[in-house]
Each structure stands twice: as C-alpha cells, then as structure tokens.
Amino acid sequence: MSDAVYDILFSELDKRGIDHLANEPMSLHTTFKIGGAAKAFISPRDGEELSFAVNAASDLGVKTFVLGKGSNVLFDDEGYDGAVISTLSLDKIRVSDNMITCDAGVSVTSLSRFALEKSLAGLTFAYGIPGSVGGAVFMNAGAYGGEIKDVLMSSTYLDTTDGKIKTLTAKEHDFAYRYSSYKAHLDRVILNATFLLREGDHNDIKAEMDDFMDRRRTKQPLEFPSAGSVFKRYPGRYTAQMIDEAGLKGAAVGGAEVSVKHAGFIINKGGATSADVTALIELIKKTIFEKFGIEIECEIIRVEK
Ligand SMILES: Cc1cc2nc3c(=O)[nH]c(=O)nc-3n(C[C@H](O)[C@H](O)[C@H](O)COP(=O)(O)OP(=O)(O)OC[C@H]3O[C@@H](n4cnc5c(N)ncnc54)[C@H](O)[C@@H]3O)c2cc1C
C-alpha cells in the first residue's frame, strides 16, 4: 500500500483526534521484542474511535490487525503493511457485586489484582499472564488449572462488518483449550468482558497469587523476551517434556534459542529475528515428528507482512 494512502488515513484520524503513529516498530510492542515497522499504529480510546479507525482503514483498503499486549504474537521482520489497532487505551475496569467488567486493553494481571482488592476469588490463575483481557478471551488463556472460560460471563465486541456493538454469552464463545469463537471471527474486536467471581478471603487469594507467581519465576525464563509457550499441549503429552527428551534444550538459530530453563519457550537471547524464530519452530516440529511421530501445533500467532 502506498504512503499516499496512509497519509489519507492519518489525516482522517487527525480530524477525529485519534492517536496514531507511522512506521512504528513492532519490536516495541511485543514481548518477543521482534518485528519490523507497522505502517500505521492506532490507539483508539473507546469503541467509537476503534470503529472509526477500522472503517477508515477498510475504506482505503488498508488491512488491520488487533493487538493487545503482544505476548502471543510474532510479527514479521519486514513489518506490517497495514494498520495495527492497539487496544491498550481501552483501560476501564469496574465492579458490581461479584462481577467485574473490564475493557479489552487492561492487563489480566491488573484484573487479577483488582479482584484481590475486592476480595473476589476466581482470577488467581491469571496473575502473571502478561496479556490483555482481549487477548486472554481471544486465546482462552489459562494456567495452574484455571482458564478464562471458568469465569467469563459475557463479552462485548465491535462487529466490523456492520459497525454494531454486540454481546456474546459465555456459551457462545465455544471455548476449548486455547480457543474461543473469536478465532473463527477475526472481524470481531473484543471491547470488554464481564467476569463472574465469588466472594473469597483476601489472604487466601493473595497467597495463591503469590504461589503462582513464584512458580512462574522458578520455572519460566522471565529474564528473556519470549512469547511464552510456543506450542499447544498435545493431548496426553507435555510438549515441553517431548522437546526436552528430543535433546533440543539450548538449540539455537541466530538469536533465538530453546530455553534451557523451560523447553516450551523460545527466547530472544539478543537480536533474534522472526526468521530465526520461525526456523527454530520448524526444526522443533520436524525433530518431534521424527522422534515421536507427533505433529505439534503452534500456539503463537504469526503476523505476516
Ligand atoms: C512469559 C509469558 C508467559 C505466558 N504464560 C501464559 C500462560 O500461563 N497461559 C496462557 O494462556 N498464555 C500465556 N502466555 C501467552 C499470552 O500471554 C496469552 O496468550 C495472552 O492471553 C495474550 O494476550 P495479549 O493481549 O498479549 O494478546 P496479543 O498477543 O496482543 O494477541 C493475541 C491474539 O489475540 C487477538 N486479540 C488481542 N486482543 C484482541 C481484541 N480485543 N479483540 C480481538 N482479538 C484480539 C490478536 O489479534 C491476536 O490474534 C504467556 C506469554 C509470555 C510471554
């Protein structure tokens, strides 16, 4: 897409006062710290701005990608010839009885802390997951025996096909392991989500959160940039264990390395490119297939130019 098209897009956004950046490196907005520049990086503050931005891009034939905290994505080294719509300025959170309604850009760790402040139980598992609420609902994020599906009551989204704001009940999310129906409807942008929690004891909730965080610090290579577990669990098998048994801990391509601390993680040891990570992923998949006859599937989402 030509620069002239982006100039028109930026002028439309300026008229509405919507925050945006040109040629923004995606390495600054992803936990892998990898990815070239997105031609446009737009930060709407509410559903109306978001709808306007998506429509303006679509009218000009500019593709869009919705980004939360970038903790489960791998952007191309060549960048993104389109508009990345960041949800991080959608940041309101409110409580009513045992329900918390939270905008898509709030981090799930902040949501978990907010629940603790209100002595509401059910979100301890989310403490330490470095994603946004939108990304966590999209992925049905989970840890330590808990998943978003256990506590989500409903979510509200912008249907970009008709510009209307709609609501999904919990059931309509078709939740499964690391799956929600949003994965089958990429024209829907999650605006907020409501969680139904239960009254709990502040100290008990805090103790569980601290325990989960300790386990993360002990077992995960949090000192290096990564996108968490690269592969989905294979039914009945721990993927990280298979990678370890295949002797792949420490295997590297360029700056990308299979973590020695947790074989399910690929870490950016410094200067890793998306091509390095992709080549390492292919090496792992091939080796696991040769050794175990199993095809493992990627959990992280690759965003092509
Ligand atoms: C150190 C580390 C530990 C991790 N631990 C866990 C863990 O324990 N459990 C777990 O499940 N995951 C874990 N992850 C992965 C990741 O944090 C989760 O998948 C998280 O839910 C992704 O949220 P995000 O906001 O970063 O999404 P992003 O990476 O920004 O986006 C992921 C996908 O969601 C879509 N998306 C994001 N927001 C919206 C929205 N508002 N509307 C529509 N689509 C949207 C994006 O388009 C993209 O396809 C970990 C990652 C790291 C780096």
Q: How confident is the model over 223-270, as pLDDT tens digits?
A: 999 999 999 998 888 899 999 999 999 999 999 999 999 999 999 999
Is 229 catalytic? The answer is: yes
Its CATH class, for the domain covering 93-204, is alpha beta
The whole-number pLDDT of residue 235 equals 86
Active site residue 178: yes
Residue 93's closest CA among 72, 108, 78? 108
- Give the DSSP letter of residue 125: G
**And the tokens for 97?**
């009885």
List every span in the chain annotated with CATH 3.30.465.10.
Answer: 93-204
State in Å: Cα 141 to ligand 1 middle.
Answer: 7
In the chain, which segments carry CATH 3.30.43.10? Answer: 3-86
Please report, for the chain, how many H helices and E strands are present, in that order: 7, 19
Tell how far the Cα of 68 is from the centroid of ligand 1, in angstroms: 7
Structure tokens at 243: 């990678």
Sequence-ordered list of residues with C-beta below 8 angstroms from that of 257, at least 6 positions apart, any chain? 250, 251, 266, 267, 269, 280
DSSP 132: B
Domain with CATH 3.90.78.10 in the chain: 221-303
The two three-digit tokens of residue 121, written as one number: 């139980």
Angle (CA) 51-52-58 rounded to 5° is: 90
Give 35 Cα–ligand 1 centroid separation in angstroms: 16
pLDDT of residue 229: 95
The two tokens of residue 263 are 């074989």
- What pLDDT digit, counting tens, does each position of 181-224 carry? 999 999 999 999 999 999 999 999 999 999 999 999 999 999 99
Residues of the chain with confidence (pLDDT) below 50: none
Active site residue 299: yes
Q: Specify the CATH architecture of the domain 221-303.
A: Alpha-Beta Complex (3.90)
How many residues comprise the chain? 305
Q: Give the separation between CA 246 and CA 296, rounded to whole angstroms.
A: 13
Question: How is domain 3-86 classified at the CATH fold level?
Answer: 3.30.43
Ligand 1 binding pocket includes 68 (Cβ within 6 Å): yes
Ligand 1: which of 65, 72, 91 to mutate, most ligand atoms within 8 Å of CB? 72
82: amino acid identity, one letter: G
Q: Model-level pTM greater than 0.75?
A: yes
Q: Which helix (H) or strand (E) holds 276?
A: helix 274-292
Distance (Å) from CA 39 to ligand 1 centroid: 22
pLDDT value of residue 234: 87
Residue 236 has a pLDDT of: 86
CA distance 193 to 179: 16
Residue among 132, 180, 226, 229 flagged as catalytic = 229
CA 233 to chain centre: 17
